[in-house]
């Protein structure tokens, strides 16, 4: 009977680890698809910077600066506006970022082909 218990436990361990791996892959796929897009496969189009400013936020411990770059672009005859600079992660220095994107500048906009409203200026 001890051998059966060990076999059952081994099978259960394999099944549970397979389910855990599958769940992690599913969650990672959702995270990449929504928060961190697979920008390497995104097509691009030309856009125009509408404005670029440094946005400040404060917590009880620190001040945080982030770039806010508004841009317009067109995909398949439809107009879109975006604000995300980097597709993956935050930008390092807000002042340097907005200096690269002055109002009126022509820019390359990378967009999600499944949802063209989801875009970024940098990969």
Chain segment 61-109, per-residue pLDDT in tens: 888 888 999 999 999 999 999 999 987 767 678 899 999 999 999 999 9
Tokens coding 42: 């995104």
- Residue 77 backbone zone (phi > 0: left; psi -120 to 50: alpha; other: beta): left
Q: Are 71 and 120 in contact (CB under 8 A)?
A: no
Residue 34 and residue 30: Cα distance in Å, rounded?
6
Share of residues in the chain with pLDDT > 90 (%): 47
| Per-residue pLDDT band at 37 (split at 50, 70, 90) | very low
Q: Are 47 and 106 in contact (CB under 8 A)?
A: yes
Q: Where are the domains of the chain?
A: 1-35, 42-120
User: How high does pLDDT run on average in the chain?
Assistant: 78
Q: Of 70, 67, 69, whose CA–CA distance to 93 is shortest?
A: 67
């Amino acid at each position: 009977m001890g051998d059966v218990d060990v076999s059952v436990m081994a099978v259960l361990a394999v099944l549970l680890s397979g389910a855990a791996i599958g769940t992690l892959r599913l969650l990672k796929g959702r995270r990449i698809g929504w928060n961190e897009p697979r920008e390497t496969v995104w097509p691009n189009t030309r856009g125009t910077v509408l404005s670029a400013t440094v946005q400040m936020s404060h917590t009880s411990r620190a001040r945080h600066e982030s770039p806010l770059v508004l841009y317009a672009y067109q995909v398949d005859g439809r107009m879109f506006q975006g604000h995300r600079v980097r597709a993956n992660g935050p930008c390092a220095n807000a002042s340097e970022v907005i200096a690269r994107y002055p109002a009126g500048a022509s820019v390359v906009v990378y967009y999600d082909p499944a949802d063209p409203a989801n875009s970024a200026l940098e990969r």
